[in-house]
Structure 1
Amino acid sequence: METNIGIIQKNRLAVSTALSKLLADEFILYTKTRNAHWNVEGSDFHAMHLFFESQYEQLDEIMDSVAERIRALGHYAPATLKAYLKLTHLSESENKNGSLDFIKELLADHESIIEFIRGNINPFTDTYKDAGTSDYITGLMETHEKMAWMLRAHLV
């Protein structure tokens, strides 16, 4: 059935394509945060284990909402590792299992996602006439800003 929400197909496709890249980034960041949760070592293990858990739980909710937004626009959300690796802006690195190493890498990824989101807020409204998605990703950006702040606070 045709999606008829007042946004032309071409614009819904463009927004969904950008959201698919965001979903891939969210999935990679989620996986990296799970890795930190599972593999962190050191005298701060327990606190960091719980901290990373709270972060990946937030990312799980974000991934679901991004995928659902793509579906609301009438497109299918990417849902394979192959697709995510092709779409993502993020990369994986081999690092030590100390909390500060994980925090630095996760912080950089959050900041990258924040910049990607920030760069799409106005185009979604102005170019693609999708104020709803623009508003939606503004909220996501604020969530990532808070998560980045929580990570950054460990580096002081």
Structure 2
Amino acid sequence: MATPAVNIGIEEGARAEIAEGVSRVLADSYSLYLKTHNFHWNVTGPMFNSLHAMFEEQYTELATAVDEIAERIRALGAQAPGSYSDYQRLTAIPEESGAPEAMEMVRQLMRDHETVARTAREAFAVADGAHDEPTADLLTQRMQLHEKTAWMLRSMLE
């Protein structure tokens, strides 16, 4: 038996465009999760305790977020990307395979949170234009979180 068509009041083409934007948010979020977890494991120096704990708090929040984001993509009737090659193709977050010094980690994460906020803002415009309130709400929450986190990280660099 065929799967019933998605009929949530948003035209199929708009749903696909929204899902593409939200997929970029998912890829950015997952890439940022991975980078933050890497930094949690590998941070050193006089701020070790505070950064180690802060990075854990951040990657834990991101782990929950990626699930919510992926579930929204599925609710729109699209497949959620779930492979490293998908994320590499979709993300705007630069990979860090090494372990830079602690304040460079903070600097990179600040920029990366700003990147996710910008990606979410782009996707928000499409969702808002299609009157997709649930997606717009999700993206608003993500923008708020990433902008606040970027501010907190930026404050550490002053």
2:54 alignment partner in structure 1:
51
TM-score by length of 1: 0.92
Q: Does 1:29 align with 2:29?
A: no
1:138 alignment partner in structure 2:
140
TM-aligned CA deviation for residue 131 of structure 1: 2.4
1:30 & 1:120 partners in 2: Cα distance? 20
Return the letter of the residue paired with 1:154.
M
Task: Give aligned pairs, total.
Answer: 155
1:84 alignment partner in structure 2:
87
Return the letter of the residue paired with 1:89.
A
Q: Does 1:152 align with 2:154?
A: yes
Instruction: Give CA deviations for 1:57-105 in whole Å, capped at 9, x if unaligned.
Output: 1111111110011011111100011111011112124665322110000
1:40 alignment partner in structure 2:
43
Instruction: Give CA deviations for 1:24-57 in whole Å, capped at 9, x if unaligned.
Output: 1111101110011000010111111111000101
SS state at 1:89 partner:
coil
TM-score by length of 2: 0.91
1:118 & 1:84 partners in 2: Cα distance? 19
Equivalent residues of 2:39, 2:105 under 8 A apart: yes
1:92 & 1:34 partners in 2: Cα distance? 12
Q: Does 1:125 align with 2:115?
A: no
Q: CA RMSD in A?
A: 1.4
SS state at 1:6 partner:
coil
1:132 & 1:94 partners in 2: Cα distance? 35
Could you tell me which runs of 5 or more consecutive residues in structure 2 were left unpaired when the two chains were aligned. none
Return the letter of the residue paired with 2:147.
E
Equivalent residues of 1:95, 1:101 under 8 A apart: no
TM-aligned CA deviation for residue 123 of structure 1: 2.6
Return the letter of the residue paired with 1:151.
L
Instruction: Give CA deviations for 1:99-138 in whole Å, capped at 9, x if unaligned.
Output: 2110000110111111222233233222x33222112201
Return the letter of the residue paired with 2:80.
A
